[in-house]
């Protein structure tokens, strides 16, 4: 019976599974996102995220621990030199799994796993944080504008089109004289 056995073995023996996860993690570190099956992506997340946490502390001991998992010097250099700087302020959740649909050949559920801090689509409006801040789930109340702030906002809105009209007028005059 398999009571309480929550590990997905991916249909492989222990040595084969560890080699697979090590190789997938190295590719994830080098390419910042990879496409694989959904089951492998979910298992890879639980394998790789503790290694990313270890990479935040750049010491010889942590490098040796991560090297014992990955066995790839180039991936270790990339992880500790480049990636650890980006994830320094993140308290966890370094990867994101996005479902892509079924593969045409064998109908396997595909997924893309990527590093969260390297995605340009989702992180455009956010500034990067270097320090981790404690967050609460409560939403901060937004204060209402006072009368003077509303008047200032109206003045700046009114000044915008007038300034652009003044700037465009000399250009049109220069074009006519040429």
User: From residue 35, how far is each of 16, 18, 32, 91 by CA, in Å?
Assistant: 20, 18, 11, 25
Say if residues 23 and 72 touch (Cβ distance below 8 Å).
no
CA distance 44 to 22: 9
For the segment(s) 14-118, the CATH number from 3.10.580.10, 3.90.930.12, 3.90.1030.10, 2.40.240.10 is: 3.90.1030.10
- pLDDT tens for each residue of the chain, 178 residues long: 889 999 899 999 999 999 999 999 999 999 999 999 999 999 999 999 999 999 999 999 999 999 999 999 999 999 999 999 999 999 999 999 999 999 999 999 999 999 998 887 765 555 555 555 667 777 766 655 555 555 555 555 555 554 544 454 455 445 555 4
Distance CA 131, CA 126 (A): 14
Is 95 within 8 Å of 86 (Cβ atoms)?
no
DSSP 3-state assignment of 102? strand
Give the pLDDT confidence score for residue 50 in this predicted structure: 96
pLDDT at 121: 76
What pLDDT does 178 receive? Answer: 45
Rg (CA), the chain: 26
């Amino acid at each position: 019976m398999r009571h309480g056995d929550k590990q997905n073995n991916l249909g492989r023996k222990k040595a084969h599974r560890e080699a697979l996860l090590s190789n997938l993690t190295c590719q994830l570190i080098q390419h910042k996102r990879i496409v694989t099956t959904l089951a492998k992506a979910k298992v890879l997340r639980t394998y790789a995220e503790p290694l990313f946490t270890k990479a935040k502390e750049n010491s010889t001991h942590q490098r040796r621990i991560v090297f014992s998992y990955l066995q790839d010097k180039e991936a270790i250099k990339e992880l500790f030199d480049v990636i650890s700087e980006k994830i320094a302020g993140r308290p966890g959740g370094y990867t994101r799994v996005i479902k892509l649909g079924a593969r045409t050949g064998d109908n396997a559920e595909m997924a893309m796993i990527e590093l969260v801090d390297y995605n340009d689509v989702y992180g455009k409006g956010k500034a990067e944080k270097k320090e981790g801040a404690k967050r609460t789930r409560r939403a901060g109340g937004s204060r209402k504008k006072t009368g003077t702030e509303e008047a200032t906002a109206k003045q700046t809105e009114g000044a915008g089109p007038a300034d652009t009209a003044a700037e465009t007028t000399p250009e049109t005059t220069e074009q006519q004289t040429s």
